[in-house]
């Protein structure tokens, strides 16, 4: 029986709970100095004075790095001045989207958002650095800032087209479709700014030596950090090493290389010692990305019998004057249902805030809130069951590209989810399912997330002692990469999990892509599989060609690798330990490297994970408080590599979705563009007491096209649809349709 799929415990779990997992701020380096970033306190203007001299005299201070003394960096090739935020007609400029946004690297005196890095203070201890950083006197000539989304959105900008993310799309004639509809929905939804709160805030140790730069950085993309450092400082990538064996959560914020990483490197270079720069929790709100706020206009039109005739989804999301980021809310809409016509648009409203970025299912979570809420409204308008409405408009193929799905099990997800939830017992009328005074509501939504994949490399070595070393420059964000890649390698090598060491998080290892877009397993898994298979085949060839081997004379087709042994299929007693083959051939490990890519299957098949989520809410009619006693989710995500880590990922996504629906919001003081709940006490996310029963089913799904392993990602689909299912359940409980997240008690009384 293959080890693939088994719910084995995390191989790095013990290291984590015993404090032996080394996170980025924990690497021990001789002469390590401590840096603390100073952030701007105005949203726009110029720095007119910084009293570095006073702070420089404080105890232990080594360096005060400001725009006055920071090394000048080579000009970025794509260049261009900061945006002016002009109207719709303004020329789309040529700047790149994140993951490499323009950084704040102390090159001039300009401030473009509140909490922008404006100085780094380096001292012998953290306490000295922090005391000095807090004493730094800065004077500004403040300028009027654009901090009013309602105003900014009146002059929306068209974003630069991105691959697979055009600013507008359409099929058929949506205007006519809407006009001819018997039933119409025309509603606007909003989602707030949210900030990433991984347990481990961003942290970097930079060690700039004559021979090169080493960065210990908490990142979802070691090779990306390396490239940005090379570009920023104009040095060869070969001279830069980025190390990241553990990440305490990323959720998208660590997919991008932010200013502090380069500032740590700059500080180390100037100070001549390694510098640690760990962000305080409060500093997570501004300079390292956020989910932008969105306003989404949804129009649906359907025939009397529930067939969608038109879908229109127009989104405006906030962005920054520093650089653009588009929250792609319409991406999910474009592929969701088999509507005759469709029209979507994405626009930007520019504010004096830090550059927004990817946050777990960027666009798919915020967009599915709007689309799946609107579908619920349509179901009520048609007096039709919401599951039935979705089945009536089931997309049998990708409605956008008009190509078949590589696999799609959504129908089965609706069936299994509804059955496990007991959906058939639902009475449709709002307020009709009470428990005493408590209002009970049942709501559901469709979940969807693209099955992404990028090119990745891996290596596998079989050692004389019967162990194997498998490597890829990928990441484990707490998601289980160490564990599942070991399982994949064990399966391909024919060796026990306990004999395999999988290493990741180092640019010295074969290159892997950013661990974002739920693509690590689908990208790195095939590379590991191929490298391990090639290493095993080399070992088999070595044994067969070796007259001292009991297998000598057989052909590769006669041999199987099982449990660390090579053996004859016809006679399992005729066998040899895999390590023994290596030992007898001089002891030099036998191995291989592999590079795996998508090929062109993506042109022939649309690849996406789907699911259905069902939520029960209990609403207190007097207080407006919402409890969620149970959630049922059913997902089609291809082949499961590890049932336990898969379950954990889906559950984590659902929990976040509940937070998105009910709690999560960065409360900005829009007079100053600064977050006022910039800490884990005031920034509300669900805790254990908020979470009831979560029932997750992964339906059987065989996908022969997607990759050698048949896997789709599970990191992000779990959050999609949940906020809508919560809102729909709340409507069912109360008759109140809340279109603005989060659905806090004040909106229900
Ligand atoms: Mo995820 S938001 O794609 O890291």
Q: Is the pLDDT of residue 93 over 50?
A: no
Instruction: At 507, list the tokens.
Output: 């640019």
What confidence tens digit (pLDDT) does each residue in 353-370 have?
999 999 999 999 999 999
Q: Where are the domains of the chain?
A: 24-70+105-145+199-249+254-284, 146-191+293-394, 401-452+603-749, 454-597
518/715 Cα distance (integer angstroms): 5
What atom of ligand 1 comes closest to residue 477's alpha carbon? 4
What number is the average pLDDT over the span 65-86? 68
What confidence tens digit (pLDDT) does each residue in 697-749 have?
999 999 999 999 999 999 999 999 999 999 999 999 999 999 999 999 999 99
What confidence tens digit (pLDDT) does each residue in 475-485 have?
999 999 999 99
Site of tokens 């029963």: 693
pLDDT for 99: 52
What atom of ligand 1 comes closest to residue 517's alpha carbon? 3
131/129 Cα distance (integer angstroms): 6
Question: How high is the ipTM of this complex?
Answer: 0.97
Instruction: At 8, list the tokens.
Output: 């084995």
pLDDT for 89: 31
Start-to-end CA span in the chain (Å): 56
CATH code that applies to domain 401-452+603-749: 3.30.365.10
What atom of ligand 1 comes closest to residue 359's alpha carbon? 2
* pLDDT-wise least confident of 19-28, 161-170, 557-566: 161-170
pTM over 0.90: yes
Binding site membership of 128 for ligand 1 (Cβ less than 6 Å): no
Binding site membership of 517 for ligand 1 (Cβ less than 6 Å): yes
Q: Is the pLDDT of residue 98 over 50?
A: no
The active-site residue, picked from 295, 364, 372, 716, is 716
Q: Is the pLDDT of residue 674 over 90?
A: yes
What confidence tens digit (pLDDT) does each residue in 222-248 have?
999 999 999 999 999 999 999 999 999
**For the chain, percent of residues with pLDDT exceeding 70:** 97
Q: Do 24-70+105-145+199-249+254-284 and 401-452+603-749 show the same overall fold?
A: yes
What atom of ligand 1 comes closest to residue 361's alpha carbon? 2
Confidence grade of residue 163 (pLDDT, cut at 50, 70, 90): confident
pLDDT for 81: 33
**DSSP-derived secondary structure letter, 31:** T
Q: How far is CA 748 from CA 308, 437, 740, in A?
A: 30, 15, 12
Confidence grade of residue 78 (pLDDT, cut at 50, 70, 90): low
pLDDT for 201: 98
Confidence grade of residue 76 (pLDDT, cut at 50, 70, 90): low
Q: State the SS3 of 516-557.
A: CCCCHHHHHHHHHHHHHHHHHHHHHHHHHCCCCCCCCCCCHH
For 423, residues 6+ apart whose C-beta sits below 8 A from its C-beta are 387, 417, 442, 444, 614
Angle between helix 643-662 and 722-734 (nearest 10): 50
Instruction: At 603, list the tokens.
Output: 């042109």
> Rounded to the nearest whole angstrom, what is the distance from the C-alpha of residue 308 to the centroid of ligand 1?
31
Q: Is the pLDDT of residue 95 over 90?
A: no
Question: How does strand 33-39 pair with strand 275-278?
Answer: parallel
What is the average pLDDT score of the chain? 95
CATH code that applies to domain 146-191+293-394: 3.30.365.10
Angle between helix 520-544 and 481-493 (nearest 10): 30
Q: What angle do CA 467, 473, 478 make, to 5 degrees?
A: 85
Binding site membership of 220 for ligand 1 (Cβ less than 6 Å): yes
DSSP per-residue letters across 670-688 = TTTTEES--STTTS----G
> Rounded to the nearest whole angstrom, what is the distance from the C-alpha of residue 647 to the centroid of ligand 1?
18
What confidence tens digit (pLDDT) does each residue in 286-325 have?
999 999 999 999 999 999 999 999 999 999 999 999 999 9
CATH class of residue range 454-597 = alpha beta
**DSSP-derived secondary structure letter, 606:** B
pLDDT for 379: 98
Q: Is 716 labeled as catalytic in the residue annotation?
A: yes
Q: 115 with 43: CB under 8 angstroms?
A: no
Q: Is the pLDDT of residue 96 over 90?
A: no
Q: Give burial (CB, 10 Å; 0-12/13-18/19+) of 31.
A: exposed
CATH class of residue range 24-70+105-145+199-249+254-284 = alpha beta
Binding site membership of 177 for ligand 1 (Cβ less than 6 Å): no
Binding site membership of 360 for ligand 1 (Cβ less than 6 Å): yes
What number is the average pLDDT over the span 665-687? 97
pLDDT for 598: 85
What number is the average pLDDT over the span 524-537? 98
Angle between helix 643-662 and 364-382 (nearest 10): 70
Site of tokens 């064990």: 490
């Amino acid at each position: 029986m293959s080890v693939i799929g088994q719910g084995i415990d995390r191989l790095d779990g013990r290291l984590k709970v015993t404090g032996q997992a080394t996170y980025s701020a924990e690497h021990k380096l001789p002469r390590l100095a401590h840096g603390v970033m100073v952030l701007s306190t105005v949203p726009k203007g110029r720095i007119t004075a910084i009293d570095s001299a006073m702070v420089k005299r404080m105890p232990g201070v080594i360096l005060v790095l400001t725009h006055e003394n920071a090394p000048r960096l080579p000009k970025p090739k794509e260049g261009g001045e900061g945006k002016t935020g002009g109207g719709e007609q303004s020329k789309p400029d040529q700047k790149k989207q994140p993951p490499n946004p323009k950084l704040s690297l102390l090159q001039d005196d300009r401030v473009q958002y509140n909490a922008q890095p404006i100085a780094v203070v380096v001292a012998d201890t953290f306490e000295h650095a922090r005391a000095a950083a807090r004493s730094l006197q800065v004077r500004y000539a403040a300028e009027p800032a654009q901090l009013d989304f309602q105003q900014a959105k009146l002059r929306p900008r068209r974003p630069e087209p991105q691959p697979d993310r055009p600013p507008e799309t359409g099929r058929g004639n949506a205007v006519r479709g809407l006009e001819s509809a018997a039933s119409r929905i025309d509603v606007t939804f909003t989602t707030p700014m949210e900030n990433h709160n991984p347990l481990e805030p961003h942290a970097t140790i930079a060690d700039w030596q004559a021979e090169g730069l080493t960065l210990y950085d908490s990142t979802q993309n070691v090779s990306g950090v390396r490239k940005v450092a090379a570009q920023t400082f104009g040095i060869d990538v070969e001279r830069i090493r980025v190390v990241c064996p553990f990440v305490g959560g990323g959720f998208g914020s660590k997919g991008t290389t932010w200013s502090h990483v380069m500032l740590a490197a700059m500080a180390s270079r100037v100070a001549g010692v390694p510098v640690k720069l760990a962000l305080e929790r409060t500093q997570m709100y501004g300079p390292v990305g956020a989910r932008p706020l969105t306003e989404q206009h949804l129009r649906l039109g359907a025939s009397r019998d529930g067939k969608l005739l038109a879908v229109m989804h127009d989104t405006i999301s906030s962005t920054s004057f520093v650089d653009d980021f588009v929250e792609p809310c319409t991406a999910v809409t474009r592929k969701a249902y088999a509507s005759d016509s469709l029209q979507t648009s994405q626009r930007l409203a520019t504010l004096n805030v830090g550059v927004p970025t990817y946050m777990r299912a960027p666009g798919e979570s915020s967009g599915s809130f709007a689309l799946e809420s609107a579908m619920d409204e349509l179901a009520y308008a048609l007096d039709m069951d919401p599951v039935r409405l979705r089945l009536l408009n089931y997309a049998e193929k990708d409605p956008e590209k008009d190509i078949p799905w590589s696999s799609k099990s959504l129908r089965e997800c609706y069936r299994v989810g509804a059955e496990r939830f007991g959906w058939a017992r639902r009475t449709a009328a709002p307020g009709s399912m009470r428990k005493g005074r408590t209002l009970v509501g049942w709501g559901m939504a469709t979940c969807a997330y693209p099955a992404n994949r990028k090119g990745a490399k891996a290596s596998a070595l079989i050692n004389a002692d019967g162990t194997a070393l498998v490597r890829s420059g990928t990441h484990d964000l707490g998601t289980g990469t160490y564990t599942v890649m070991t399982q994949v390698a064990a399966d391909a090598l024919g060796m026990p999990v306990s004999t395999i060491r999988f290493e990741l998080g180092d640019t010295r290892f074969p290159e892997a892509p950013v661990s974002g877009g739920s693509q690590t397993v689908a990208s790195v898994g095939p590379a590991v599989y191929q490298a391990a298979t090639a290493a095993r085949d080399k070992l088999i060839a070595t044994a067969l060609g070796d007259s001292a081997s009991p297998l000598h004379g057989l052909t590769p087709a006669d041999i199987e690798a099982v449990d660390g042994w090579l053996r004859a299929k016809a006679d399992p007693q005729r066998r040899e330990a895999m390590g023994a083959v290596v030992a007898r051939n001089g002891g030099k490990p036998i191995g291989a490297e592999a590079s795996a890519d998508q090929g062109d299957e993506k042109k022939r098949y649309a690849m996406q994970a789907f699911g259905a989520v069902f939520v029960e809410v209990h609403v207190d009619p007097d207080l407006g408080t919402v409890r969620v006693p149970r959630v049922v989710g059913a997902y089609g995500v291809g082949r499961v590599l590890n049932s336990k880590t898969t379950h954990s990922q889906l559950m984590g996504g659902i929990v976040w979705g509940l937070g998105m629906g009910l709690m999560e919001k960065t409360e900005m003081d829009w007079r100053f563009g600064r977050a006022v709940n910039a800490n884990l006490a005031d920034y509300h996310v669900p805790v254990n007491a908020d979470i009831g029963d979560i029932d997750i089913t992964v339906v059987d799904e065989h996908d022969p096209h997607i990759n050698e392993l048949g896997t789709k990602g599970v990191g992000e689909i779990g959050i999609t649809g949940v906020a809508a299912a919560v809102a729909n359940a709340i409507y069912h409980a109360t008759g109140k349709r809340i279109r603005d997240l989060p659905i806090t008690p004040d909106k229900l009384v």
